[in-house]
């Protein structure tokens, strides 16, 4: 009906506004960041190409690199805790919500359980600091003030906030399981438990990969909660420093550190690469194979 | 959910009681901390420390905290800023994303899937990492410390998921309808306008999905619009927490006021939000 030339013109016309905003304010800054990381800014005299010098500093400079590796390791731990606690919790809740025993209260439970995810981290941070405050007496131990417990504590606060997300993903996947399959299993004498593990669970399995990769992307972009709790110098002794707070400190500077835009650009590029490479590998290797098995 | 409703009159079996008990436990875990903040925001300082888990009584009830938030804080300005930024971002995102998604479904030429793929990729792009060039760009264009800077960045951030989501909705529109419109001589823009009401659930999902991260973001307000007259609620509350650390009633009132609008909106739009979330990301 529409000629190829007209289709081409229409496509570009309709897509242009969205594409322009997206390219200028998202893609371009990221690309510029990558370019910047290979330069040294020299004020009036212009920029000098320095190759991998910024990266060399980031990876090997005694004080700079120590903080960087520390932030990276902390971030991995932050991600792992999310994965280990959040996903089983989401699965349990999604299974309970779709157990068929709730009648009309299903929607109410679903909404209430998601409420923490709608709060800002400022509130989440404050509420939990209040509850675990030794002064108020729920825990007589400074969980946030001790190096060995601070990161786990913050991770669990974040898990508390976001467990609704895996719950909703798995809940929607469970609702999409064809009723006939469940009924056929019931006729064959399978109970609720067997039906769940033998029929429903394998069908929703591809969702776990997706949840894992999204959790990875979100936790490696983490910043807000740590900043809300501790500011840009996450203590005690940088035990809660993650890549986001490290990045912020690098380009804004902090008490012990001068602001350094080029190094900041290098940090951004490293985080970006870490996220993108893992995501790409995941989509090539895992998600494609999973898709071919699913219904 | 017909499956659930059929069992509405079922007796209270042991299994059913367990399911409800577990869910109630988790609900308490989820909203308990929020309730503690709200309850204590309505009490006097000694009552907050004397019995943090007690409900306010006639003797301990006090709205002093709320009064102080409005007199000492910057709350009305913060609210206005958050409202302007969030609403404008939602409107802009919806307008440009629906146009783009319509085109990606309608006009299949060679580069269509390439452009579509570029948007899908954007769902994974951590836009925060482009902050340094964004600052330089905003400075060059004299947009630093304005709400416009926030709106532009947030719109760019929301477009990928919005386009991807709207594509799934536009795919459900029957071809006959569009062909009929074109037969009658409708322009492409007119055809778009005719099918738009059919994707209304998608529009609600995009709005709900855009609203939360924009209203709650701390990073960009902190960096792009930190001055008092441009602060959003999230940043305002964050600074209030730092400033009035010992005025607990005011602090708790500020936190309550910062959370209420979004929790209310989410409750209203929760169905759209949830369908949008699962449809948009499981692409």
DSSP for B171-218, please give it: TTS-HHHHHHHHHTT--HHHHHHHHGGGGHHHHHHHHHHHHHHHHH--
Q: What is the pLDDT of residue B4?
A: 47
Q: Residue B175: is it exposed, middle or buried by C-beta count within 10 angstroms (0-12/13-18/19+)?
A: exposed
The stretch B237-258 carries a mean pLDDT of 85
Q: What is the pLDDT of residue A200?
A: 92
Q: Is residue A227 less than 8 Å (CB to CB) from chain B?
A: yes
On average, the pLDDT of chain B sits at 90
What the block records as the tokens of B210 is: 């855009």
What the block records as the tokens of B198 is: 């059919």
Residues 95..124 of B with a Cβ closer than 8 Å to A: which? 95-97, 99-100, 102-104, 106-109, 111-112, 115, 118-119, 122, 124
Residues A33, B108: C-beta atoms closer than 8 Å:
no
Residue in chain A closest to B52 (alpha carbons) equals A136
φ/ψ of residue A81, rounded to 5: -65, -40
Global confidence as pTM? 0.92
3-state secondary structure chain A: CCCHHHHHHHHHHHHHHHHHHHHHHHHHHHHHHHHHCCEEECHHHCEEECCCHHHHHHHHCHHHHHHHHHHHHHHHHHHHHHHHHHHHHHHHHHHHHCCCCCHHHHHHHHHHHHHHHHCCHHHHHHHHHHHCCCCCCCCCCCCCCCHHHHHHHHHHHHHHHHCHHHHHHHHHHHHCCCHHHHHHHHHCCCCHHHHHHHHHHHHHHHHHHHHHHHHHHHHHCCCHHHHHHHCCCCCCCCCCCCHHHHHHHHHHCECCECCCHHHHHHHHHHHHHHHHHHHHHHHHHHHHHHHHHCC
- Each residue's pLDDT, cut to its tens digit, for chain A (295 residues) gives 678 888 899 999 999 999 999 999 999 999 999 999 999 987 667 788 998 999 999 999 998 999 999 999 999 999 999 999 999 999 999 999 998 888 889 999 999 999 999 999 999 998 898 888 766 667 778 888 888 999 999 999 999 999 999 999 999 999 999 988 888 888 888 888 888 999 999 999 989 999 999 999 999 999 999 999 888 778 788 999 999 999 999 998 877 777 889 999 999 999 999 999 999 898 888 766 655 554 3
Sorting pLDDT into bands at 50, 70 and 90, what band is B224?
very high
| Contacting residues of B for A4, CB less than 8 Å apart | 109
* Å between A218 CA and nearest CA of chain B: 9
| Contacting residues of A for B156, CB less than 8 Å apart | 21-22, 24-26
Q: Is residue A112 less than 8 Å (CB to CB) from chain B?
A: yes
Q: Which residues contact A76 (CB under 8 A, 6 or more apart)?
A: none
pLDDT in tens, A13-29: 999 999 999 999 999 99
φ/ψ of residue A238, rounded to 5: 60, 20
* Å between A168 CA and nearest CA of chain B: 7
CB atoms inside a 10 Å sphere around CB A149: 15
Which of B130, B151, B181, B279 best probes binding to A when mutated, by most A CB atoms within 10 angstroms? B130
Q: Is residue A217 less than 8 Å (CB to CB) from chain B?
A: yes
Q: Find residue B150's DSSP bridge partners.
A: none
Give the C-alpha distances (Å, rounded to integers) separating B91 from A137, B86, B88, B236, B280: 46, 9, 5, 24, 18
* Å between A147 CA and nearest CA of chain B: 22
Residues 262..281 of B with a Cβ closer than 8 Å to A: which? 262-263, 266-267, 270-271, 273-275, 277-278, 281
Q: Is residue A154 less than 8 Å (CB to CB) from chain B?
A: no
Residues B274, A114: C-beta atoms closer than 8 Å:
yes
| Contacting residues of A for B4, CB less than 8 Å apart | 100, 102-104, 106
Q: What is the DSSP letter of B43?
A: B
Residues B34, A247: C-beta atoms closer than 8 Å:
no
Compare B277 and B230 and report the one with higher pLDDT: B230
Residue in chain A closest to B50 (alpha carbons) equals A136
Report the percent of chain B where pLDDT is more than 70. 96
* Å between A118 CA and nearest CA of chain B: 6
Give the C-alpha distances (Å, rounded to integers) separating B100 from B160, B181, B183, B192: 10, 19, 23, 11
Report the percent of chain B where pLDDT is more than 90. 59
pLDDT in tens, B251-279: 889 889 988 888 899 999 888 888 888 88
Lowest mean pLDDT among A178-187, A230-239, B79-88, B147-156: A230-239
Residues A11, B29: C-beta atoms closer than 8 Å:
no
Q: What is the pLDDT of residue A18?
A: 97
Q: Which residues contact B50 (CB under 8 A, 6 or more apart)?
A: none
Helices (H) and strands (E) in chain B, counts: 14, 0
**Among A231, A270, A265, CA closest to A250:** A265
Q: What is the pLDDT of residue A140?
A: 74
């Amino acid at each position: 009906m529409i000629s190829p030339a007209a289709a081409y013109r229409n496509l570009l016309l309709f897509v242009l506004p969205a594409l322009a905003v997206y390219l200028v304010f998202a893609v371009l800054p990221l690309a510029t960041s990558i370019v910047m990381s290979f330069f040294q800014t020299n004020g009036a005299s212009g920029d000098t190409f320095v190759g991998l010098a910024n990266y060399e500093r980031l990876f090997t400079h005694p004080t700079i690199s120590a903080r960087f590796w520390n932030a990276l390791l902390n971030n991995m731990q932050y991600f792992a805790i999310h994965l280990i606690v959040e996903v089983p919790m989401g699965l349990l809740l999604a299974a309970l919500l779709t157990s068929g025993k709730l009648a009309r209260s299903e929607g109410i439970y679903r909404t209430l359980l998601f409420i923490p995810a709608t709060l800002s981290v400022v509130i989440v941070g404050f509420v939990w600091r209040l509850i675990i405050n030794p002064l108020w007496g729920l825990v007589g131990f400074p969980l946030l003030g001790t190096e060995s417990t601070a990161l786990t504590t913050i991770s669990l606060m974040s898990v508390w906030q976001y467990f609704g997300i895996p719950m909703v993903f798995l809940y929607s996947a469970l609702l999409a399981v064809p009723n006939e399959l469940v009924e056929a299993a019931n006729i064959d004498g399978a109970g609720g438990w067997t039906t769940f593990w033998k029929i429903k669970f394998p069908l929703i399995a591809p969702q776990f990969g997706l949840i894992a990769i999204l959790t990875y992307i979100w936790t490696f972009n983490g910043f807000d909660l740590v900043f809300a709790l501790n500011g840009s110098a996450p203590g005690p002794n940088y035990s809660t420093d993650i890549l986001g707070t490290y990045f912020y400190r690098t380009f804004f500077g902090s008490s012990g550190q001068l602001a350094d835009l080029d190094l900041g650009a290098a940090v951004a590029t490293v985080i970006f690469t870490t996220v993108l490479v893992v995501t790409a590998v995941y989509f090539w290797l895992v998600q494609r194979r999973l898709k071919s098995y699913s219904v | 959910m017909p499956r659930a409703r059929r069992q509405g009159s079922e007796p209270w079996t042991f299994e059913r009681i367990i399911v409800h008990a577990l869910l109630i436990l988790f609900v308490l875990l989820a909203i308990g901390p929020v309730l503690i903040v709200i309850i204590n925001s309505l009490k006097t300082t000694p009552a907050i420390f004397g019995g943090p888990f007690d409900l306010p009584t006639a003797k301990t009830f006090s709205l002093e905290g709320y009064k102080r938030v409005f007199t000492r804080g910057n709350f009305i300005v913060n609210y206005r800023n958050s409202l302007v930024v969030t609403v404008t971002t939602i409107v802009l995102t919806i307008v440009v994303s629906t146009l783009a998604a319509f085109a990606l479904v309608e006009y299949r030429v060679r580069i269509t899937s390439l452009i579509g793929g570029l948007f899908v990729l954007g769902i994974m792009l951590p836009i925060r990492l482009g902050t340094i060039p964004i600052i330089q760009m905003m400075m060059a264009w004299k947009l630093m410390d304005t709400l416009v800077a926030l709106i532009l960045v947030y719109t760019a951030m929301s477009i990928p998921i919005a386009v991807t989501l709207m594509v799934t909705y536009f795919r459900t529109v029957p071809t006959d309808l569009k062909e009929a419109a074109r037969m009658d001589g409708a322009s492409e823009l007119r055809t778009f306008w005719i099918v738009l009401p059919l994707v209304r659930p998608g529009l609600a999902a995009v709005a709900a999905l855009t609203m939360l991260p924009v209203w709650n973001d701390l990073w960009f307000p902190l960096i792009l619009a930190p001055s008092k007259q441009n602060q959003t609620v999230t940043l305002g509350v964050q600074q209030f927490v730092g400033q009035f650390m010992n005025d607990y009633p005011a602090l708790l009132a500020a936190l309550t006021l910062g959370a209420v609008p979004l929790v209310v909106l989410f409750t209203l739009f929760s169905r759209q939000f949830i369908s949008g979330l699962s449809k948009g990301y499981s692409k």
